[in-house]
A and B are shown apart, each in its own frame.
Chain A
């Protein structure tokens, strides 16, 4: 039987085949996830698959294990979410102790999340939007901050932009910071990155207007008070600074404690913090159109480019 993988680009195909060897029942989902991708998204996913190969010297075992972990975790949380209508956890302190400070699980989690940047259409589309829409908007010599870099891939894609001046990143999880450092070192990021262990709420004081860009990708849903975090970030940005936010709605996970129910709620949250939203991408989970995802409360990744200042005239 000719598998759908025959049509994939080489690095993507090699990765998908290793995933399917460990998780054959996943084929139906992946068929949908790779169907109808734009050329730009497919090309970026191929680049990401190549980077994943370089990161682990062509050995996918660690990422396969992480991916199986994340799929199992999401299924368990999805069952709770569909039954109860809400995420299982709501306390940052609990999730911090059980997830962010739990090195073994955090490595599996971030490895799995990295794998989803190729395998899940909604994540591949957001990464494409980040690399090809957000980063090219940043000015020459831009000073960048990422909060919650996790596996480090977005930071790497930012560091290789020719216009990039300096980079800093904060993460609450020591395991995440190690993975970020490992990613940047192994892939040979051309710029040094200042990595700090810390919580967005504590680090964001006394740093007024120090950055031209801030990335907050898959972090809002982990915060008890995202509006306060976004207001702090507003203060970190220079007058014409840009923000990239990616937040999934109706997307249960073990460490998601803040639930948004629709893309418009995500946009309203960013606006309430004082930003002007320039562009939004809504990427539903594989197999769903946006209309159907909205109707079924299925998960949708919402990627937003916003500016600190007022909108362009």
Chain B
């Protein structure tokens, strides 16, 4: 899966987790842009992404993404078997 495909699927995950159908997984999107994206919901997002792509983030990754682009790149890396 490439970055664009991952971003597309992330849109569905974001919408489900934050209960907001207007959300789009733009690369530059951050927690600050989404009212529902607080520290607790961040954990739900992480685990929903893990389940959607059948991957498991490392502990260091869980709170380490600056924006959706970084999360998408990590997903691509995990899927390709080259997790950071």
Contacts and interface: CB of A to CB of B under 8 A. Distances in A.
Nearest to A30: B38
Nearest to B36: A287
Taking chain A's interface residues, is the majority helix, strand, or loop, or is none over half, making it mixed?
helix
Contacts of B46: 79, 82
Interface string A260-299: 0000000000000000000000000101000010001000
Interface in B56-73: 56, 62
Contacts of A79: 43, 46-47, 62
Interface in A8-30: 25-26, 28-29
Contacts of A25: 39
A253 to B, nearest CB: 13
A292 B39 contact: no
A119 to B, nearest CB: 13
B1 interface: no
Nearest to B45: A82
Interface residues of B, number: 17
A74 B46 CA distance: 15
Contacts of B62: 79
A83 B50 contact: yes
A37 interface: no
16 contacts: A25-B39, A28-B31, A28-B32, A28-B35, A28-B37, A29-B38, A32-B35, A71-B39, A75-B39, A75-B43, A79-B43, A79-B46, A79-B62, A83-B56, A285-B40, A287-B36
